[in-house]
Amino acid sequence: MADLLKAEGTITAPTDSSHDGVRRRDFINIAAVSFAGVGGIAVLVPLISQMSASADVLAESSTEIDISAIASGQAIKAVWRKQPVFVRNLTPTEIAEADAVDPKTLRDPATLEERTKKGKTNWLITMGVCTHLGCVPLGAGPGEVKGEYGGYFCPCHGSVYDTAARIRKGPAPKNLEVPPYDFSSDTVVKIG
């Protein structure tokens, strides 16, 4: 160290002994700061990841529903991922109404067939979450307003869905979402 110190006591950096313009200290500096930088970024991973869904929340992310008691024309509200799911047993009239619409004229084109399982077109299973800002639309509970298209009506901002839960009128951009589900048997549906 002493040879780096002038008599006045000011400290000078070590000289470029190989004359290639790069000092040993430059390398150490870049290596150390880069290492610390990568380490610092790596530390962010757990700090950010801790906010995503924890193991107990993920463990609750599938749910089974018994649909045997739902008569034609009735609907129930189930809960999946802490959100309402509408399970609706469509009447033949409602199916006919849905099929009568040309999908090309819709805001979010889809047919009832695409939104239900094959051979079980009468079982319309959708999220009960309005695609506008997330309110629960009316129409699944007994006596609730179904809106002018006979499906669902969201009272928050006036979005209207038809009997295939497709958006027909109002501010919502998309049809009610169809969650991933399967029929475990003719009377049991597993969602998620």
Partner 1 sequence: MSFPWAKNYKPSHPLMVYLDEKLPLPRLIYNAIGAGYPVPRNLNYAWNFGVLAGFCLVLQIVTGVILAMHYAANAGVAFDSVEHIMRDVNWGWMLRYAHANGASAFFVVVYIHIFRGFFYSSYKAPREMIWLLGVVIFLLMMATAFMGYVLPWGQMSFWGAKVITGLFSAIPLVGTPLQQWLLGGFAPDNAALNRFFSLHFLLPFVIAAVIIMHIWALHIPGSSNPTGVEIKTESDTVPFHPYYTAKDGFGLGVFLLLYCTVLFFFPNALGHPDNYIPANPLSTPAHIVPEWYFWPFYAILRAFTSDFLFIPAKLMGVLAMFSAILVWFFLPWLDTSPVRSGHYRPLFRKFYWILVLDTLVLGYCGGSPAETKYVLISQIAATYYFLHFLVILPLVSSIEKPQPLPYSITESVLGTDALTA
* Residues at the site binding partner 1, with contacts judged by CB under 8 A: 2, 5, 7-11, 32, 36, 45-47, 49-52, 54-57
Q: Active-site residue among 25, 107, 157, 174?
A: 157
80, 63 contact by CB (below 8 A): yes
Closer residue to partner 1, CB minimum distance, 7 or 41:
7
Closer residue to partner 1, CB minimum distance, 9 or 119:
9
Least distance in Å: CB of 37 to partner 1? 12
Closer residue to partner 1, CB minimum distance, 46 or 180:
46
**Distance of alpha carbon 163 from alpha carbon 170, whole angstroms:** 16
Closer residue to partner 1, CB minimum distance, 52 or 105:
52
115, 164 contact by CB (below 8 A): yes
Question: What single-letter amino acid sits at 127?
Answer: M
Catalogue the E-assigned strands of the chain. 63-66, 75-80, 83-89, 123-127, 150-154, 159-162, 167-169, 181-183, 188-191
75, 139 contact by CB (below 8 A): yes
132 catalytic residue (yes or no): no
Least distance in Å: CB of 132 to partner 1? 29
Least distance in Å: CB of 183 to partner 1? 31
Least distance in Å: CB of 8 to partner 1? 6
What Rg do the C-alpha atoms of the chain give, in angstroms?
31
Would you name the residues annotated as active-site residues?
157
